[in-house]
Chain A
Protein backbone atom coordinates (compact mmCIF):
# COMPACT_ATOMS: atom_id res chain seq x y z
CA UNK A 1 0.00 0.00 0.00
CA UNK A 2 1.45 3.40 -0.89
CA UNK A 3 2.33 5.55 2.12
CA UNK A 4 0.38 8.58 0.96
CA UNK A 5 -2.67 6.40 1.02
CA UNK A 6 -2.04 5.11 4.55
CA UNK A 7 -1.48 8.65 5.79
CA UNK A 8 -4.66 9.87 4.14
CA UNK A 9 -6.58 6.90 5.45
CA UNK A 10 -5.40 7.52 9.01
CA UNK A 11 -6.49 11.13 8.87
CA UNK A 12 -9.84 10.41 7.29
CA UNK A 13 -10.65 7.73 9.86
CA UNK A 14 -9.63 9.95 12.70
CA UNK A 15 -11.86 12.78 11.48
CA UNK A 16 -14.75 10.39 11.14
CA UNK A 17 -14.18 8.98 14.60
CA UNK A 18 -14.08 12.42 16.10
CA UNK A 19 -17.35 13.37 14.42
CA UNK A 20 -19.07 10.71 16.52
CA UNK A 21 -18.37 12.89 19.52
CA UNK A 22 -16.32 10.33 21.40
CA UNK A 23 -13.56 11.76 23.60
CA UNK A 24 -10.87 13.09 21.32
CA UNK A 25 -8.03 11.11 22.88
CA UNK A 26 -10.00 7.91 22.38
CA UNK A 27 -10.54 8.67 18.71
CA UNK A 28 -6.88 9.49 18.06
CA UNK A 29 -5.59 6.56 20.09
CA UNK A 30 -7.93 4.08 18.47
CA UNK A 31 -6.82 4.98 14.94
CA UNK A 32 -3.17 4.79 15.98
CA UNK A 33 -3.61 1.38 17.60
CA UNK A 34 -5.61 -0.13 14.78
CA UNK A 35 -3.16 1.08 12.15
CA UNK A 36 -0.20 -0.18 14.16
CA UNK A 37 -1.75 -3.60 14.68
CA UNK A 38 -2.71 -3.90 11.01
CA UNK A 39 0.72 -2.90 9.75
CA UNK A 40 2.97 -4.61 12.28
CA UNK A 41 0.83 -7.26 13.97
CA UNK A 42 1.41 -7.81 17.68
CA UNK A 43 4.68 -5.89 17.40
CA UNK A 44 2.57 -2.75 17.12
CA UNK A 45 0.87 -3.34 20.45
CA UNK A 46 3.51 -1.59 22.53
CA UNK A 47 3.07 1.74 20.72
CA UNK A 48 0.56 3.37 23.10
CA UNK A 49 2.52 2.43 26.19
CA UNK A 50 5.89 3.44 24.83
CA UNK A 51 4.27 6.79 24.05
CA UNK A 52 3.52 7.03 27.77
CA UNK A 53 7.14 6.32 28.62
CA UNK A 54 8.31 8.88 26.07
CA UNK A 55 5.97 11.41 27.62
CA UNK A 56 7.40 10.70 31.06
CA UNK A 57 10.94 11.36 29.94
CA UNK A 58 10.08 14.69 28.39
CA UNK A 59 11.10 17.00 31.20
CA UNK A 60 9.62 20.38 30.10
CA UNK A 61 6.14 18.89 30.18
CA UNK A 62 6.24 19.29 33.95
CA UNK A 63 5.67 23.01 33.41
CA UNK A 64 2.20 22.27 32.10
CA UNK A 65 0.37 21.56 35.40
CA UNK A 66 2.35 24.36 37.07
CA UNK A 67 1.25 27.00 34.59
CA UNK A 68 -2.30 25.72 34.54
CA UNK A 69 -2.34 25.93 38.33
CA UNK A 70 -0.96 29.44 38.20
CA UNK A 71 -3.60 30.51 35.73
CA UNK A 72 -6.41 29.13 37.87
CA UNK A 73 -5.06 30.77 41.01
CA UNK A 74 -4.99 34.09 39.18
CA UNK A 75 -8.49 33.85 37.79
CA UNK A 76 -10.19 32.17 40.77
CA UNK A 77 -8.66 34.24 43.56
CA UNK A 78 -9.06 37.51 41.64
CA UNK A 79 -5.71 38.80 42.85
CA UNK A 80 -5.56 40.73 39.59
CA UNK A 81 -8.40 43.06 40.64
CA UNK A 82 -6.10 45.88 41.68
CA UNK A 83 -4.32 45.60 38.41
CA UNK A 84 -7.51 46.44 36.61
CA UNK A 85 -8.18 49.36 38.93
CA UNK A 86 -4.74 50.68 38.17
CA UNK A 87 -5.35 50.77 34.44
CA UNK A 88 -8.82 52.07 35.05
CA UNK A 89 -7.61 55.14 36.88
CA UNK A 90 -4.61 55.82 34.69
CA UNK A 91 -6.12 55.20 31.28
CA UNK A 92 -9.70 56.25 31.97
CA UNK A 93 -9.47 59.88 30.83
CA UNK A 94 -8.65 58.88 27.26
CA UNK A 95 -11.21 58.05 24.64
CA UNK A 96 -11.23 54.28 24.52
CA UNK A 97 -8.71 54.34 27.36
CA UNK A 98 -10.34 51.57 29.33
CA UNK A 99 -10.20 49.30 26.31
CA UNK A 100 -6.51 50.08 25.90
CA UNK A 101 -6.06 49.44 29.60
CA UNK A 102 -7.75 46.07 29.17
CA UNK A 103 -5.28 45.08 26.46
CA UNK A 104 -2.37 46.11 28.71
CA UNK A 105 -3.94 44.16 31.56
CA UNK A 106 -4.11 41.13 29.30
CA UNK A 107 -0.44 41.45 28.42
CA UNK A 108 0.46 41.41 32.12
CA UNK A 109 -1.87 38.50 32.84
CA UNK A 110 -0.33 36.66 29.89
CA UNK A 111 3.09 37.09 31.44
CA UNK A 112 1.84 35.25 34.50
CA UNK A 113 0.15 32.26 32.93
CA UNK A 114 0.28 30.11 29.86
CA UNK A 115 -3.28 29.69 28.67
CA UNK A 116 -5.92 32.10 27.47
CA UNK A 117 -8.48 30.92 30.04
CA UNK A 118 -7.20 33.09 32.88
CA UNK A 119 -7.17 36.23 30.75
CA UNK A 120 -10.62 35.39 29.53
CA UNK A 121 -11.96 34.91 33.04
CA UNK A 122 -10.39 38.10 34.35
CA UNK A 123 -11.50 40.06 31.29
CA UNK A 124 -15.07 38.82 31.29
CA UNK A 125 -15.69 39.03 35.03
CA UNK A 126 -13.76 42.16 36.01
CA UNK A 127 -13.21 44.32 32.94
CA UNK A 128 -16.32 43.63 30.87
CA UNK A 129 -18.99 44.77 33.37
CA UNK A 130 -17.05 47.97 34.06
CA UNK A 131 -16.60 48.73 30.39
CA UNK A 132 -20.28 48.18 29.65
CA UNK A 133 -21.38 50.33 32.57
CA UNK A 134 -19.38 53.21 31.15
CA UNK A 135 -21.10 53.01 27.81
CA UNK A 136 -18.39 51.31 25.79
CA UNK A 137 -19.62 49.66 22.65
CA UNK A 138 -20.38 46.07 23.56
CA UNK A 139 -19.23 44.58 20.29
CA UNK A 140 -15.89 46.31 20.51
CA UNK A 141 -15.16 45.40 24.13
CA UNK A 142 -16.12 41.77 23.60
CA UNK A 143 -13.58 41.65 20.81
CA UNK A 144 -10.97 43.42 22.92
CA UNK A 145 -11.21 40.85 25.69
CA UNK A 146 -11.10 37.88 23.37
CA UNK A 147 -8.21 39.21 21.37
CA UNK A 148 -6.33 40.31 24.46
CA UNK A 149 -6.71 37.03 26.29
CA UNK A 150 -5.49 35.08 23.28
CA UNK A 151 -2.10 36.72 23.86
CA UNK A 152 -1.78 34.32 26.79
CA UNK A 153 -0.54 31.57 24.52
CA UNK A 154 2.02 33.71 22.70
CA UNK A 155 3.61 35.70 25.53
CA UNK A 156 5.78 33.51 27.76
CA UNK A 157 5.16 31.38 29.72
CA UNK A 158 3.07 29.73 27.04
CA UNK A 159 1.63 26.25 27.35
CA UNK A 160 1.02 26.01 23.62
CA UNK A 161 4.69 26.63 22.90
CA UNK A 162 5.60 23.94 25.45
CA UNK A 163 3.43 21.47 23.56
CA UNK A 164 4.87 22.64 20.27
CA UNK A 165 8.39 22.26 21.62
CA UNK A 166 7.63 18.67 22.52
CA UNK A 167 6.41 17.81 19.04
CA UNK A 168 9.01 19.83 17.13
CA UNK A 169 11.86 18.79 19.47
CA UNK A 170 12.96 22.38 19.92
CA UNK A 171 14.18 24.13 23.09
CA UNK A 172 11.32 25.74 25.01
CA UNK A 173 13.44 28.68 26.19
CA UNK A 174 14.18 29.86 22.66
CA UNK A 175 10.57 29.43 21.61
CA UNK A 176 9.39 31.55 24.50
CA UNK A 177 11.86 34.30 23.70
CA UNK A 178 10.70 34.15 20.10
CA UNK A 179 7.12 34.74 21.24
CA UNK A 180 7.79 37.95 23.15
CA UNK A 181 8.24 40.48 20.35
CA UNK A 182 5.40 39.18 18.15
CA UNK A 183 3.16 39.16 21.22
CA UNK A 184 3.96 42.75 22.10
CA UNK A 185 3.66 43.75 18.46
CA UNK A 186 0.21 42.25 18.29
CA UNK A 187 -0.83 44.03 21.47
CA UNK A 188 0.41 47.30 19.95
CA UNK A 189 -1.58 46.67 16.79
CA UNK A 190 -4.70 46.07 18.89
CA UNK A 191 -4.13 49.35 20.73
CA UNK A 192 -3.57 51.28 17.50
CA UNK A 193 -6.80 49.86 16.19
CA UNK A 194 -8.69 50.92 19.33
CA UNK A 195 -7.21 54.41 19.23
CA UNK A 196 -8.14 54.90 15.58
CA UNK A 197 -11.66 53.56 16.02
CA UNK A 198 -12.30 55.74 19.06
CA UNK A 199 -10.88 58.82 17.33
CA UNK A 200 -13.27 58.33 14.45
CA UNK A 201 -16.22 57.56 16.67
CA UNK A 202 -15.84 58.68 20.30
CA UNK A 203 -19.17 57.06 21.24
CA UNK A 204 -17.51 53.66 21.04
CA UNK A 205 -15.39 54.37 24.08
CA UNK A 206 -16.31 57.52 25.99
CA UNK A 207 -13.76 58.98 28.36
CA UNK A 208 -14.51 58.82 32.07
CA UNK A 209 -16.78 61.55 33.44
CA UNK A 210 -15.35 64.59 35.22
CA UNK A 211 -15.96 63.40 38.80
CA UNK A 212 -14.67 59.91 38.11
CA UNK A 213 -11.52 61.35 36.67
CA UNK A 214 -10.93 63.34 39.80
CA UNK A 215 -8.71 60.88 41.59
CA UNK A 216 -6.05 62.38 43.86
CA UNK A 217 -2.54 61.81 42.67
CA UNK A 218 -1.63 60.01 45.89
CA UNK A 219 -4.28 57.35 45.25
CA UNK A 220 -3.15 57.11 41.67
CA UNK A 221 0.41 56.44 42.71
CA UNK A 222 -0.70 53.98 45.33
CA UNK A 223 -2.53 52.01 42.68
CA UNK A 224 0.64 51.76 40.66
CA UNK A 225 1.82 49.36 43.33
CA UNK A 226 -0.65 46.82 41.97
CA UNK A 227 1.57 46.64 38.93
CA UNK A 228 4.32 45.22 41.10
CA UNK A 229 2.44 41.95 41.44
CA UNK A 230 2.86 40.64 37.90
CA UNK A 231 6.40 41.93 37.72
CA UNK A 232 7.17 40.28 41.03
CA UNK A 233 5.80 36.93 39.96
CA UNK A 234 7.37 37.18 36.54
CA UNK A 235 10.72 38.13 38.05
CA UNK A 236 10.56 35.35 40.66
CA UNK A 237 10.16 32.94 37.77
CA UNK A 238 12.45 34.44 35.19
CA UNK A 239 15.43 35.80 37.13
CA UNK A 240 16.64 32.41 38.44
CA UNK A 241 15.96 30.88 35.03
CA UNK A 242 17.80 33.50 32.97
CA UNK A 243 20.75 33.40 35.38
CA UNK A 244 20.93 29.66 34.99
CA UNK A 245 20.28 28.92 38.67
CA UNK A 246 17.17 26.90 37.95
CA UNK A 247 15.80 25.07 34.98
CA UNK A 248 12.62 26.12 33.26
CA UNK A 249 10.63 23.48 35.07
CA UNK A 250 11.87 24.53 38.48
CA UNK A 251 11.05 28.13 37.62
CA UNK A 252 7.52 27.19 36.73
CA UNK A 253 7.11 25.65 40.18
CA UNK A 254 8.48 28.81 41.77
CA UNK A 255 6.02 30.87 39.73
CA UNK A 256 3.06 28.69 40.65
CA UNK A 257 3.93 28.70 44.32
CA UNK A 258 4.57 32.44 44.44
CA UNK A 259 1.16 33.09 42.88
CA UNK A 260 -0.27 30.75 45.50
CA UNK A 261 1.53 32.57 48.30
CA UNK A 262 0.36 35.97 47.06
CA UNK A 263 -3.22 34.72 47.12
CA UNK A 264 -2.74 33.39 50.65
CA UNK A 265 -1.13 36.60 51.91
CA UNK A 266 -3.85 38.72 50.34
CA UNK A 267 -6.44 36.59 52.09
CA UNK A 268 -7.99 35.47 48.83
CA UNK A 269 -7.25 31.76 49.20
CA UNK A 270 -10.64 30.71 50.48
CA UNK A 271 -11.76 27.11 50.62
CA UNK A 272 -13.75 27.45 47.40
CA UNK A 273 -10.90 29.09 45.52
CA UNK A 274 -8.51 26.40 46.70
CA UNK A 275 -10.85 23.56 45.79
CA UNK A 276 -11.65 25.01 42.36
CA UNK A 277 -8.11 25.78 41.34
CA UNK A 278 -6.66 22.48 42.53
CA UNK A 279 -9.44 20.44 40.95
CA UNK A 280 -9.46 22.33 37.67
CA UNK A 281 -5.70 21.95 37.44
CA UNK A 282 -6.02 18.20 37.68
CA UNK A 283 -8.88 18.01 35.20
CA UNK A 284 -7.31 20.29 32.60
CA UNK A 285 -3.89 18.65 32.98
CA UNK A 286 -5.47 15.23 32.51
CA UNK A 287 -7.31 16.41 29.45
CA UNK A 288 -4.08 17.71 27.91
CA UNK A 289 -1.92 14.79 28.95
CA UNK A 290 -4.22 12.07 27.67
CA UNK A 291 -4.61 13.83 24.34
CA UNK A 292 -0.84 14.27 24.01
CA UNK A 293 -0.40 10.64 24.96
CA UNK A 294 -2.74 9.52 22.21
CA UNK A 295 -1.24 11.97 19.73
CA UNK A 296 2.28 10.73 20.46
CA UNK A 297 1.16 7.21 19.65
CA UNK A 298 -0.43 8.49 16.48
CA UNK A 299 2.75 10.36 15.62
CA UNK A 300 4.87 7.26 16.17
CA UNK A 301 2.76 5.27 13.72
CA UNK A 302 2.84 8.17 11.32
CA UNK A 303 6.63 8.35 11.51
CA UNK A 304 6.82 4.59 11.20
CA UNK A 305 5.12 4.53 7.83
CA UNK A 306 7.24 7.42 6.58
CA UNK A 307 4.14 9.45 5.90
CA UNK A 308 5.81 12.82 6.22
CA UNK A 309 8.41 12.05 3.59
CA UNK A 310 5.67 10.77 1.32
CA UNK A 311 3.61 13.93 1.68
CA UNK A 312 6.68 16.10 1.23
CA UNK A 313 7.53 14.36 -2.03
CA UNK A 314 3.93 14.59 -3.14
CA UNK A 315 3.89 18.37 -2.72
CA UNK A 316 7.35 19.34 -3.85
CA UNK A 317 8.12 16.86 -6.59
CA UNK A 318 4.84 15.65 -7.95
CA UNK A 319 2.90 18.89 -7.64
CA UNK A 320 5.97 21.08 -8.11
CA UNK A 321 5.07 23.65 -5.42
CA UNK A 322 7.66 25.94 -3.92
CA UNK A 323 8.29 25.71 -0.15
CA UNK A 324 6.68 29.11 0.42
CA UNK A 325 3.51 28.18 -1.45
CA UNK A 326 3.27 25.06 0.65
CA UNK A 327 3.82 27.03 3.85
CA UNK A 328 1.11 29.53 2.98
CA UNK A 329 -1.26 26.76 1.96
CA UNK A 330 -0.55 25.05 5.27
CA UNK A 331 -1.33 28.15 7.31
CA UNK A 332 -4.54 28.69 5.35
CA UNK A 333 -5.67 25.11 5.81
CA UNK A 334 -4.75 25.42 9.49
CA UNK A 335 -7.03 28.45 9.86
CA UNK A 336 -9.84 26.73 7.99
CA UNK A 337 -9.46 23.60 10.09
CA UNK A 338 -9.45 25.75 13.18
CA UNK A 339 -12.89 27.05 12.36
CA UNK A 340 -14.53 23.66 12.67
CA UNK A 341 -12.16 21.54 14.73
CA UNK A 342 -11.85 21.57 18.45
CA UNK A 343 -8.76 23.64 19.22
CA UNK A 344 -6.97 21.40 21.66
CA UNK A 345 -7.45 18.53 19.30
CA UNK A 346 -6.26 20.57 16.37
CA UNK A 347 -3.14 21.51 18.25
CA UNK A 348 -1.99 17.96 18.68
CA UNK A 349 -3.31 16.61 15.41
CA UNK A 350 -1.98 19.24 13.10
CA UNK A 351 1.42 19.60 14.68
CA UNK A 352 2.73 16.05 14.08
CA UNK A 353 1.85 16.38 10.41
CA UNK A 354 2.83 19.98 9.77
CA UNK A 355 5.91 20.41 11.89
CA UNK A 356 8.10 17.71 10.31
CA UNK A 357 6.96 18.87 6.91
CA UNK A 358 8.04 22.43 7.68
CA UNK A 359 11.38 21.06 8.84
CA UNK A 360 11.74 18.99 5.68
CA UNK A 361 11.07 22.09 3.59
CA UNK A 362 14.01 23.79 5.26
CA UNK A 363 12.26 26.40 7.40
CA UNK A 364 13.34 27.41 10.89
CA UNK A 365 11.27 25.49 13.43
CA UNK A 366 11.52 28.17 16.13
CA UNK A 367 10.11 30.69 13.70
CA UNK A 368 7.38 28.30 12.67
CA UNK A 369 6.50 27.84 16.35
CA UNK A 370 5.47 31.48 16.45
CA UNK A 371 3.48 31.22 13.24
CA UNK A 372 1.86 28.11 14.60
CA UNK A 373 0.86 29.83 17.82
CA UNK A 374 -0.57 32.89 16.10
CA UNK A 375 -2.59 30.63 13.84
CA UNK A 376 -3.85 28.75 16.88
CA UNK A 377 -4.84 32.07 18.40
CA UNK A 378 -6.86 32.87 15.32
CA UNK A 379 -8.42 29.43 15.40
CA UNK A 380 -9.31 29.96 19.05
CA UNK A 381 -11.43 32.90 18.04
CA UNK A 382 -13.05 31.95 14.78
CA UNK A 383 -16.64 30.70 14.67
CA UNK A 384 -18.45 28.40 14.66
CA UNK A 385 -16.10 26.53 17.02
CA UNK A 386 -13.65 28.56 19.00
CA UNK A 387 -12.66 27.85 22.53
CA UNK A 388 -12.65 31.54 23.40
CA UNK A 389 -16.04 32.06 21.80
CA UNK A 390 -17.61 29.46 24.05
CA UNK A 391 -15.85 30.73 27.12
CA UNK A 392 -17.00 34.23 26.29
CA UNK A 393 -20.57 33.12 25.93
CA UNK A 394 -20.40 31.28 29.23
CA UNK A 395 -18.89 34.19 31.12
CA UNK A 396 -20.33 37.31 29.50
CA UNK A 397 -23.40 39.09 30.88
CA UNK A 398 -26.69 38.14 29.17
CA UNK A 399 -27.00 41.31 27.10
CA UNK A 400 -24.14 40.11 24.94
CA UNK A 401 -25.53 37.63 22.44
CA UNK A 402 -23.77 35.10 20.33
CA UNK A 403 -24.12 37.32 17.26
CA UNK A 404 -22.36 40.16 19.10
CA UNK A 405 -19.55 37.83 20.01
CA UNK A 406 -19.19 36.61 16.44
CA UNK A 407 -19.21 40.13 15.07
CA UNK A 408 -16.80 41.40 17.66
CA UNK A 409 -13.87 39.30 16.59
CA UNK A 410 -13.80 40.22 12.89
CA UNK A 411 -11.47 43.26 13.10
CA UNK A 412 -9.21 41.51 15.58
CA UNK A 413 -8.89 38.39 13.48
CA UNK A 414 -7.91 40.61 10.55
CA UNK A 415 -5.26 42.28 12.70
CA UNK A 416 -3.95 38.90 13.78
CA UNK A 417 -3.73 37.76 10.18
CA UNK A 418 -1.77 40.91 9.42
CA UNK A 419 0.56 40.08 12.31
CA UNK A 420 0.91 36.55 10.97
CA UNK A 421 1.85 37.92 7.55
CA UNK A 422 4.36 40.33 9.12
CA UNK A 423 6.11 37.56 11.02
CA UNK A 424 6.18 35.46 7.86
CA UNK A 425 7.72 38.22 5.78
CA UNK A 426 10.12 39.44 8.48
CA UNK A 427 11.27 36.36 10.42
CA UNK A 428 13.56 38.51 12.55
CA UNK A 429 10.52 39.83 14.45
CA UNK A 430 10.39 36.40 16.05
CA UNK A 431 13.99 35.28 15.75
CA UNK A 432 15.78 38.49 16.68
CA UNK A 433 15.47 38.10 20.44
CA UNK A 434 16.47 34.43 20.78
CA UNK A 435 19.38 35.02 18.42
CA UNK A 436 20.48 37.99 20.50
CA UNK A 437 20.17 36.14 23.82
CA UNK A 438 21.71 32.89 22.71
CA UNK A 439 24.20 34.70 20.55
CA UNK A 440 23.76 32.51 17.51
Chain B
Protein backbone atom coordinates (compact mmCIF):
# COMPACT_ATOMS: atom_id res chain seq x y z
CA UNK B 1 0.00 0.00 0.00
CA UNK B 2 1.65 3.21 -1.17
CA UNK B 3 -0.94 5.88 -0.38
CA UNK B 4 0.06 7.37 3.00
CA UNK B 5 -3.54 8.26 3.79
CA UNK B 6 -4.69 4.67 3.29
CA UNK B 7 -1.70 3.42 5.29
CA UNK B 8 -2.79 5.67 8.13
CA UNK B 9 -6.30 4.19 8.07
CA UNK B 10 -4.83 0.71 8.07
CA UNK B 11 -2.61 1.64 11.01
CA UNK B 12 -5.59 2.80 13.05
CA UNK B 13 -7.51 -0.36 12.20
CA UNK B 14 -4.52 -2.47 13.23
CA UNK B 15 -4.44 -0.63 16.58
CA UNK B 16 -8.14 -1.34 17.08
CA UNK B 17 -7.70 -5.00 16.25
CA UNK B 18 -4.87 -5.11 18.79
CA UNK B 19 -7.48 -4.35 21.45
CA UNK B 20 -9.63 -7.35 20.55
CA UNK B 21 -9.59 -10.43 22.77
CA UNK B 22 -6.40 -12.51 22.40
CA UNK B 23 -8.44 -15.63 21.65
CA UNK B 24 -9.76 -13.93 18.50
CA UNK B 25 -6.69 -11.85 17.63
CA UNK B 26 -4.32 -14.80 17.55
CA UNK B 27 -6.58 -16.67 15.12
CA UNK B 28 -7.90 -13.98 12.82
CA UNK B 29 -6.26 -10.66 13.72
CA UNK B 30 -3.81 -10.65 10.79
CA UNK B 31 -6.47 -11.83 8.33
CA UNK B 32 -8.79 -9.11 9.48
CA UNK B 33 -6.18 -6.39 8.97
CA UNK B 34 -5.26 -7.83 5.56
CA UNK B 35 -8.91 -7.80 4.55
CA UNK B 36 -9.35 -4.21 5.72
CA UNK B 37 -6.30 -3.26 3.64
CA UNK B 38 -7.69 -5.04 0.58
CA UNK B 39 -10.99 -3.20 0.96
CA UNK B 40 -9.15 0.12 1.26
CA UNK B 41 -7.19 -0.63 -1.90
CA UNK B 42 -10.32 -1.75 -3.74
CA UNK B 43 -11.41 1.87 -3.77
CA UNK B 44 -14.10 1.73 -1.11
CA UNK B 45 -14.26 5.19 0.50
CA UNK B 46 -12.54 4.99 3.91
CA UNK B 47 -15.50 6.68 5.62
CA UNK B 48 -17.86 3.97 4.36
CA UNK B 49 -15.40 1.26 5.24
CA UNK B 50 -15.01 2.59 8.76
CA UNK B 51 -18.78 2.84 9.11
CA UNK B 52 -19.18 -0.87 8.39
CA UNK B 53 -16.03 -1.92 10.24
CA UNK B 54 -16.25 0.00 13.49
CA UNK B 55 -19.61 -1.49 14.41
CA UNK B 56 -18.81 -5.00 13.36
CA UNK B 57 -15.85 -4.91 15.74
CA UNK B 58 -18.46 -5.31 18.46
CA UNK B 59 -18.92 -8.84 17.13
CA UNK B 60 -15.30 -9.40 18.08
CA UNK B 61 -15.40 -7.45 21.33
CA UNK B 62 -18.40 -9.58 22.24
CA UNK B 63 -15.90 -12.33 22.89
CA UNK B 64 -14.77 -10.46 25.96
CA UNK B 65 -18.22 -11.25 27.26
CA UNK B 66 -17.51 -14.93 26.70
CA UNK B 67 -14.35 -14.58 28.71
CA UNK B 68 -16.03 -12.51 31.40
CA UNK B 69 -19.31 -14.34 31.68
CA UNK B 70 -19.04 -17.82 30.22
CA UNK B 71 -15.41 -18.83 30.44
CA UNK B 72 -14.40 -17.08 33.63
CA UNK B 73 -17.66 -16.49 35.43
CA UNK B 74 -15.98 -16.64 38.82
CA UNK B 75 -13.51 -13.91 37.86
CA UNK B 76 -16.20 -11.57 36.59
CA UNK B 77 -18.36 -12.22 39.63
CA UNK B 78 -15.39 -11.54 41.86
CA UNK B 79 -14.66 -8.26 40.05
CA UNK B 80 -18.18 -6.91 40.35
CA UNK B 81 -18.43 -8.11 43.92
CA UNK B 82 -15.48 -5.95 44.87
CA UNK B 83 -17.57 -2.80 45.17
CA UNK B 84 -19.93 -3.84 47.99
CA UNK B 85 -17.13 -5.78 49.69
CA UNK B 86 -14.83 -2.75 49.64
CA UNK B 87 -17.54 -0.50 51.00
CA UNK B 88 -18.43 -3.00 53.71
CA UNK B 89 -14.76 -3.23 54.67
CA UNK B 90 -14.46 0.56 54.68
CA UNK B 91 -17.55 0.99 56.85
CA UNK B 92 -16.29 -1.61 59.27
CA UNK B 93 -12.97 0.18 59.44
CA UNK B 94 -14.68 3.56 59.99
CA UNK B 95 -16.91 2.13 62.70
CA UNK B 96 -13.90 0.78 64.52
CA UNK B 97 -11.82 3.94 64.09
CA UNK B 98 -14.56 6.48 64.76
CA UNK B 99 -17.10 4.60 66.83
CA UNK B 100 -20.59 6.14 66.56
CA UNK B 101 -19.43 8.95 64.30
CA UNK B 102 -20.05 7.45 60.87
CA UNK B 103 -22.20 9.86 58.82
CA UNK B 104 -25.63 8.55 57.80
CA UNK B 105 -25.18 9.43 54.10
CA UNK B 106 -22.18 7.13 53.90
CA UNK B 107 -24.29 4.31 55.26
CA UNK B 108 -26.98 5.01 52.66
CA UNK B 109 -24.45 4.93 49.83
CA UNK B 110 -23.07 1.69 51.20
CA UNK B 111 -26.55 0.14 51.27
CA UNK B 112 -27.17 1.34 47.69
CA UNK B 113 -23.90 -0.21 46.58
CA UNK B 114 -24.66 -3.50 48.28
CA UNK B 115 -28.03 -3.57 46.46
CA UNK B 116 -26.31 -2.69 43.20
CA UNK B 117 -23.62 -5.33 43.71
CA UNK B 118 -26.20 -7.95 44.62
CA UNK B 119 -28.30 -7.08 41.57
CA UNK B 120 -25.20 -7.31 39.35
CA UNK B 121 -24.42 -10.76 40.70
CA UNK B 122 -27.99 -11.85 40.03
CA UNK B 123 -27.88 -10.43 36.49
CA UNK B 124 -24.55 -12.05 35.71
CA UNK B 125 -25.69 -15.38 37.10
CA UNK B 126 -28.48 -15.44 34.50
CA UNK B 127 -31.22 -15.86 37.11
CA UNK B 128 -32.99 -12.77 35.73
CA UNK B 129 -33.28 -14.15 32.19
CA UNK B 130 -37.01 -14.66 32.60
CA UNK B 131 -37.40 -10.86 32.85
CA UNK B 132 -34.68 -10.18 30.26
CA UNK B 133 -35.71 -6.81 28.88
CA UNK B 134 -36.71 -5.26 32.19
CA UNK B 135 -33.81 -6.77 34.07
CA UNK B 136 -31.20 -5.55 31.60
CA UNK B 137 -32.85 -2.14 31.26
CA UNK B 138 -32.74 -1.69 35.01
CA UNK B 139 -29.16 -2.92 35.06
CA UNK B 140 -28.14 -0.45 32.33
CA UNK B 141 -29.90 2.43 34.09
CA UNK B 142 -28.32 1.60 37.44
CA UNK B 143 -24.82 1.20 36.05
CA UNK B 144 -25.04 4.37 33.95
CA UNK B 145 -26.18 6.29 37.02
CA UNK B 146 -23.35 4.75 39.01
CA UNK B 147 -20.78 5.68 36.36
CA UNK B 148 -21.94 9.29 36.06
CA UNK B 149 -22.39 9.76 39.81
CA UNK B 150 -19.06 8.09 40.53
CA UNK B 151 -17.21 10.24 38.00
CA UNK B 152 -18.78 13.50 39.24
CA UNK B 153 -18.22 12.56 42.88
CA UNK B 154 -14.59 11.64 42.19
CA UNK B 155 -13.86 15.00 40.60
CA UNK B 156 -15.92 16.78 43.26
CA UNK B 157 -14.10 15.17 46.15
CA UNK B 158 -10.70 15.67 44.53
CA UNK B 159 -11.35 19.35 43.88
CA UNK B 160 -12.39 19.73 47.54
CA UNK B 161 -8.90 18.52 48.53
CA UNK B 162 -7.42 21.91 47.69
CA UNK B 163 -6.67 23.83 50.86
CA UNK B 164 -7.92 21.10 53.18
CA UNK B 165 -6.96 17.68 54.42
CA UNK B 166 -7.72 14.92 51.94
CA UNK B 167 -10.83 12.87 52.68
CA UNK B 168 -10.02 9.46 51.35
CA UNK B 169 -13.18 7.68 52.44
CA UNK B 170 -15.59 9.63 50.17
CA UNK B 171 -13.03 9.44 47.37
CA UNK B 172 -12.87 5.68 47.72
CA UNK B 173 -16.67 5.41 47.64
CA UNK B 174 -16.83 7.62 44.53
CA UNK B 175 -14.15 5.61 42.73
CA UNK B 176 -15.78 2.31 43.67
CA UNK B 177 -19.18 3.53 42.45
CA UNK B 178 -17.70 4.73 39.15
CA UNK B 179 -15.65 1.61 38.49
CA UNK B 180 -18.62 -0.58 39.32
CA UNK B 181 -20.72 1.30 36.77
CA UNK B 182 -17.98 1.08 34.13
CA UNK B 183 -17.44 -2.67 34.59
CA UNK B 184 -21.18 -3.30 34.57
CA UNK B 185 -21.73 -1.33 31.35
CA UNK B 186 -18.80 -3.03 29.65
CA UNK B 187 -20.25 -6.41 30.58
CA UNK B 188 -23.64 -5.35 29.24
CA UNK B 189 -22.52 -3.78 25.96
CA UNK B 190 -20.09 -6.53 25.06
CA UNK B 191 -22.90 -9.02 25.47
CA UNK B 192 -25.28 -9.98 22.69
CA UNK B 193 -27.82 -11.41 25.05
CA UNK B 194 -30.18 -9.33 27.10
CA UNK B 195 -28.94 -11.22 30.12
CA UNK B 196 -26.20 -13.85 30.13
CA UNK B 197 -26.95 -17.55 30.10
CA UNK B 198 -26.55 -19.08 33.52
CA UNK B 199 -22.84 -19.86 33.93
Are these two chains actual partners, yes or no?
no
Show the binding face of B for A, using Cβ within 8 Å: none
